[in-house]
Chains A and B, each alone.
Chain A
């Protein structure tokens, strides 16, 4: 229909999203998001944790349906109910989480679901040939040989990521979403990908580029769209903006913290006992490392509440798991001065360390079992044989009353509780043990505002009782409101330690994005 599209100085956007809103239960992911991309344009989608950029990406590619708002693609309304539909319309995406089937070859993965067909059968020769052509665009930057017949299972993460890109290209997209797609690539591979992106742009492809690396955005994007708390708050042409201004847009000049913490009596720095630096050292790490977590030193004193921040998935969870003995670690750990090396959570538990996992349902709860059993799971040893059930029940009832868990009976399955109340059960099972060190892995994800406020009060109380708390959160406002000190992690490294003057939203976001001039480590 070229006759209906007269050439214009500012062509119609290929994709346009207006007033998009999306809720997950009580959580508002997007409120008033908009985004438009023209053919032959690379748009960077930016935002702090929880700003809704992933949700917006999922809506564009048909993974998630919006509650409100309009999408148009190529001048016509776009109603997507599944990703396959989006792909047929010419919209594909590459995600950081990989979608390849390990037991299939590269070619089989690339053409999965749209295999070339000839005479009623899969045309393997065409499939391989076209895969080889697509792979050729990354020739020279593979760290291991990748052929159409190579089994995906045998490839390292970076090569798998490139195969993901090839898989998206096989759909001949008109709009490509790259969502954190550079995270596992090395520098040469990123360079090549950007060369290719520029080439696709020349060819008229529209690209939405989601990245948490500032320098990449400046290298490849034409325009930046910034989301904050589910709202599109600004657009800038990349040539006319600097890092500072983008960070400012993402944080709203620090106002976010105030809004998110409004009405909560968060413990904050005021709760720190005077002369906290004199308090005895509880945890001391020397060159502590585990998997992606690069060697780090850390000293935590009694009653301290220290935050671990940064963008999601930068090794924060791994750090906490390693401290709890759930995954192997290297380096020295001293707990109250004594060297320890936990090989499993049981040992950590006995030494007075407790851990609250991020994924409540998969790591923290026994959904079908009664609340009583969930609360007492780590503690049965205390009740002898035969188990003194009366006492166990009384103790559980005391924890429930203390935390104000709303329940009908201790015997109902924990799955019947709301998110906030279930989270209290996950924390509650440790309370009666009076842990010396409490590790929390993003405990407020998906809980409502009231439950968050209650959790903050609980943490303040534990802190006042002398419990040392290491607290990972993907909610920046929470870290700023609660912690006296925040470690910022990027790619497994602690890239900054913020405290005092540097403990603000601007420094936090800048450090998380790896911007220059962030608080030094």
Chain B
């Protein structure tokens, strides 16, 4: 096959960028730096997992509440555990349940009240963000459980835990998308809801479940992110919102739905994180970073678009 899958294009690009960085900054290319970049990408990748499912589900699917839910997940973990490793399990359960509940409401609003996903999830982001602010009034008591910090930053064979967790999630996502009925029906729903419904797929159920999973995964991302940042603040998750969408798209998942993979999103997260690290190490200002990001997005998408036309 002459066609290269977008996921591979993105992966190759991130590797190429890494060595390109070596030409500009010779001290950039080493194992420690590579591991550091992959670790940074891991958090973006985990947060973008739910976004991948939502975008595959089509119907203008997008989840703009992931940023707020990430923040909420981190804050809940911080407050519920109060720094105690024993209470981490309780925090995990509550965080997953709350994340899933938020996603469920998104899904129900989109499917049954027919609110466009963009509006529904944007509204939800506001509600979650506002509730956090109203309840905490900016004063958040709690702590980071040592077990969580160890899990995320502790190293095994020189590789931080976050990377193992990400790899595990990658396998899990592959399994869900390729080896479960839900995964197969999700792609069908993404391509054509009418065909799916007339073939006996419970389209509403699939869409609601997808937004629920997105909420759950974003909240989990928030919990893990806390282990890395070791502190909470009200804009913690916000900075991940647009990168989470960009990572999915750079990874070749089609915004119109029905085509894509989580491996693509993982590669996309690497490309974005890699680029950011490179630009930062070159001391390029934020304005130019944004220009470069935008340009990468446009160039990659036009390459994918051309490939599809040839199909």
User: Which residues of the other chain, A, contact B196 by a CB distance below 8 angstroms?
Assistant: 366, 377
Shortest A74–chain B CB gap in Å is 43
Contact at A344–B197, with CB atoms within 8 Å? yes
Contact at B185–A364, with CB atoms within 8 Å? no
Is B179 part of the contact surface with A, judged by Cβ < 8 Å? yes
Known: A373-B184, A377-B184. A364 touches B198 (CB 8 A): yes
Is B188 part of the contact surface with A, judged by Cβ < 8 Å? yes
Is A501 part of the contact surface with B, judged by Cβ < 8 Å? no
Contact at A362–B194, with CB atoms within 8 Å? yes
Interface CB pairs A-B, < 8 A, 8: A326-B197, A346-B201, A357-B198, A362-B194, A366-B192, A377-B195, A377-B199, A378-B199
Chain B residues engaging chain A, CB cutoff 8 angstroms:
175, 179-181, 184-185, 187-188, 191-192, 194-202, 258-259, 311
Contact at B198–A326, with CB atoms within 8 Å? yes
Shortest B31–chain A CB gap in Å is 35
Contact at A366–B180, with CB atoms within 8 Å? no
Is A5 part of the contact surface with B, judged by Cβ < 8 Å? no
Q: DSSP majority for the B interface?
A: helix
User: Which residues of the other chain, A, contact B188 by a CB distance below 8 angstroms?
Assistant: 366, 369, 373, 377
Contact at A386–B179, with CB atoms within 8 Å? yes
User: Which residues of the other chain, A, contact B258 by a CB distance below 8 angstroms?
Assistant: 366, 368-369
Contact at B192–A413, with CB atoms within 8 Å? no
Is A345 part of the contact surface with B, judged by Cβ < 8 Å? yes
Known: A366-B191, A366-B192. A387 touches B180 (CB 8 A): yes
Contact of B180 among A365, A367, A386 (CB under 8 A): A386
Q: Mark A342-376, 1 if CB is under 8 A from B, else 0.
A: 00111001100001010000111111110001001
Contact at B197–A385, with CB atoms within 8 Å? no
Contact at B184–A380, with CB atoms within 8 Å? yes
Contact at A367–B191, with CB atoms within 8 Å? yes
Known: A368-B259, A369-B187, A373-B184. 15 other contacts (CB 8 A): A326-B197, A346-B201, A349-B200, A355-B198, A363-B192, A363-B198, A366-B258, A367-B192, A373-B188, A377-B195, A378-B201, A380-B181, A386-B179, A387-B180, A387-B181
The complex places the Cα of A380 from the Cα of B199 at a distance, in Å, of 11
User: Which residues of the other chain, A, contact B192 by a CB distance below 8 angstroms?
Assistant: 362-363, 365-367
Known: A380-B181, A385-B181. A368 touches B191 (CB 8 A): yes
Within 8 A of B (CB), among A72-105: none
Q: Mark A44-81, 1 if CB is under 8 A from B, else 0.
A: 00000000000000000000000000000000000000
Contact at A387–B179, with CB atoms within 8 Å? yes
Question: Among B198, B200, B201, B311, which residue has the most Cβ atoms of chain A within 10 A?
Answer: B200
The complex places the Cα of A387 from the Cα of B187 at a distance, in Å, of 15
The complex places the Cα of A349 from the Cα of B197 at a distance, in Å, of 11
Chain A residues engaging chain B, CB cutoff 8 angstroms:
324, 326, 344-346, 349-350, 355, 357, 362-369, 373, 376-378, 380-381, 383, 385-387, 389, 413, 415, 429
User: Which residues of the other chain, B, contact A415 by a CB distance below 8 angstroms?
Assistant: 311
The complex places the Cα of A383 from the Cα of B183 at a distance, in Å, of 13
The complex places the Cα of A364 from the Cα of B311 at a distance, in Å, of 21
Closest chain B residue to A372, Cβ basis = B184
| 7 closest A-B pairs by CB | A386-B179, A380-B181, A349-B200, A366-B191, A377-B199, A378-B200, A378-B199
The complex places the Cα of A366 from the Cα of B203 at a distance, in Å, of 14
User: Which residues of the other chain, A, contact B199 by a CB distance below 8 angstroms?
Assistant: 345, 377-378, 429
Contact at A387–B197, with CB atoms within 8 Å? no
Closest chain B residue to A381, Cβ basis = B181
The complex places the Cα of A413 from the Cα of B258 at a distance, in Å, of 12
User: Which residues of the other chain, B, contact A324 by a CB distance below 8 angstroms?
Assistant: 198
User: Which residues of the other chain, B, contact A369 by a CB distance below 8 angstroms?
Assistant: 187-188, 191, 258
The complex places the Cα of A158 from the Cα of B103 at a distance, in Å, of 44
Closest chain A residue to B192, Cβ basis = A366
User: Which residues of the other chain, A, contact B175 by a CB distance below 8 angstroms?
Assistant: 386
The complex places the Cα of A399 from the Cα of B195 at a distance, in Å, of 20
Contact of A387 among B184, B200, B202, B311 (CB under 8 A): B184
Question: Among A344, A389, A429, which residue has the most Cβ atoms of chain B within 10 A?
Answer: A344
Shortest B261–chain A CB gap in Å is 13
Shortest A362–chain B CB gap in Å is 6
User: Which residues of the other chain, A, contact B202 by a CB distance below 8 angstroms?
Assistant: 344, 346
User: Which residues of the other chain, A, contact B184 by a CB distance below 8 angstroms?
Assistant: 373, 376-377, 380, 387
The complex places the Cα of A72 from the Cα of B181 at a distance, in Å, of 60
Shortest B191–chain A CB gap in Å is 4
User: Which residues of the other chain, A, contact B185 by a CB distance below 8 angstroms?
Assistant: 377, 380
Closest chain B residue to A326, Cβ basis = B198
Closest chain B residue to A321, Cβ basis = B198
The complex places the Cα of A344 from the Cα of B198 at a distance, in Å, of 9
User: Which residues of the other chain, B, contact A385 by a CB distance below 8 angstroms?
Assistant: 179-181
Shortest A357–chain B CB gap in Å is 6
Shortest B311–chain A CB gap in Å is 7
User: Which residues of the other chain, B, contact A386 by a CB distance below 8 angstroms?
Assistant: 175, 179-180
The complex places the Cα of A326 from the Cα of B198 at a distance, in Å, of 7
Question: Among A324, A349, A355, A369, which residue has the most Cβ atoms of chain B within 10 A?
Answer: A369
The complex places the Cα of A415 from the Cα of B191 at a distance, in Å, of 12
User: Which residues of the other chain, A, contact B187 by a CB distance below 8 angstroms?
Assistant: 366, 369, 373
The complex places the Cα of A381 from the Cα of B311 at a distance, in Å, of 30
Shortest A414–chain B CB gap in Å is 10
Closest chain B residue to A383, Cβ basis = B181
User: Which residues of the other chain, A, contact B194 by a CB distance below 8 angstroms?
Assistant: 362-363
User: Which residues of the other chain, A, contact B191 by a CB distance below 8 angstroms?
Assistant: 366-369
Shortest A317–chain B CB gap in Å is 12
The complex places the Cα of A492 from the Cα of B194 at a distance, in Å, of 23
The complex places the Cα of A349 from the Cα of B202 at a distance, in Å, of 12
Contact at B200–A365, with CB atoms within 8 Å? no
The complex places the Cα of A406 from the Cα of B191 at a distance, in Å, of 23
User: Which residues of the other chain, B, contact A344 by a CB distance below 8 angstroms?
Assistant: 197, 202
The complex places the Cα of A346 from the Cα of B181 at a distance, in Å, of 15
User: Which residues of the other chain, B, contact A381 by a CB distance below 8 angstroms?
Assistant: 181
Closest chain A residue to B196, Cβ basis = A377
Closest chain B residue to A324, Cβ basis = B198
Contact at A345–B179, with CB atoms within 8 Å? no
Closest chain B residue to A429, Cβ basis = B199
The complex places the Cα of A376 from the Cα of B192 at a distance, in Å, of 15
User: Which residues of the other chain, A, contact B179 by a CB distance below 8 angstroms?
Assistant: 385-387, 389
User: Which residues of the other chain, B, contact A377 by a CB distance below 8 angstroms?
Assistant: 184-185, 188, 195-196, 199-201
User: Which residues of the other chain, B, contact A376 by a CB distance below 8 angstroms?
Assistant: 184
Question: Among B192, B196, B202, which residue has the most Cβ atoms of chain A within 10 A?
Answer: B192
